[in-house]
Amino acid sequence: MKKKVLFILGPTAVGKTAISVKLAKALDGEIISSDSVQIYKGLDIGSAKVTSEEMQGITHYAIDILDAKQEFSVFEFVEYTRKKIDEILQKGKLPIVVGGTGLYVKALTLGYNFGGTQKDQKLRVELEKLAEEKGNDYLFEMLLKKDENLAKKTDKFNTVRLVRALEIALSDGEKQQTEVDVEPFIVALNRDRELLYQDINKRVDIMLENGLVKEVESLMKQGLTKEHQSMRAIGYKEVISFLEGEIDYERMVEILKQHSRNYAKRQLTFLRGMENVNFVDTENKEVAFSKILDMSKAWLSEKK
């Protein structure tokens, strides 16, 4: 019997946190974050990490579970999330997966091919060097030629995942499909693009006002560099470039906002490529919440 799981997805800055907490209160749920940056301790400002105040007493998982020097794969996300879904259901509560990392959600709801081979450090170094010298497009073309199906499931803008996919494809390792044991109800929040972009720009300004540069300086003092998976996230790599003197402050702000808007666009493109996604406009947050609540209650009342 498949397990019912509610998904609240959408681009950065669209308002997922507030709506998901409100839903968790109304539906007696607990929240599992599917954000690939909020999993890291110390990456608070740049990830717009949900605060204890914003949680409003609702239990959240997959927040601050890793040191910033550690890596976290899609496979590990799926394994972790499946365990948490079981724990939440055993309490008689509704699991609500919230976030913007589409590949995590796709792997959980549709299954995903994972390599059976161990990571090849030498190969990875070579691939990362290729990415730096020739760009992600070059690596993506390599992946397309080697494994078209895997390429379709890989975000070519994410260097870490692209390199890992190529490791799998080039090693010809045995692949396994993850079992899908959830019955998802997927809601994707959205709003007018120009208004969303304005909110993204404002969010970047607020992050900088709240001390994003100091946060990154502190992480760098701990030995973190652009080579670490966590530091390749938007909001961190741009500030590192500024702190290392590659760009000035104004250019950093400009690039950070542009990268954030581009990411939101990719998130929406990814969601539109998934099946059975219910898009809800969040221009009027109260109307949006009521609509999602009604849809969720109708879905929960359906027989499995």
Q: Where are the domains of the chain?
A: 114-175, 194-263
126-151 mean pLDDT: 84
CATH topology of domain 114-175: Histone, subunit A (1.10.20)
Contacts 24+ apart (CB under 8 A), 216-221: 216/46, 216/240, 216/243, 217/243, 218/42, 219/42, 219/43, 219/68
**Residue 210 above 90 pLDDT?**
yes
Residue 130 is predicted with a pLDDT of 79
Section 142-166 average pLDDT: 86
The pLDDT-based confidence of 174 (bands split at 50, 70, 90) is very low
Compute the residue count for the chain: 304
CATH number of 194-263: 1.10.8.50, 1.10.287.890, 3.40.50.10890, 3.40.50.300? 1.10.287.890
Compute the distance between CA of residue 250 and CA of residue 242 in angstroms, rounded to an integer: 9
What confidence category does residue 116 fall into, taking pLDDT thresholds of 50, 70 and 90?
A: very low
Given a contact cutoff of 8 angstroms between Cβ atoms, the answer to whether 290 and 19 are in contact is no
Question: What pTM does this model have?
Answer: 0.81
Encoding tokens for residue 185? 């109800």
Domains 114-175 and 194-263 share a fold: no
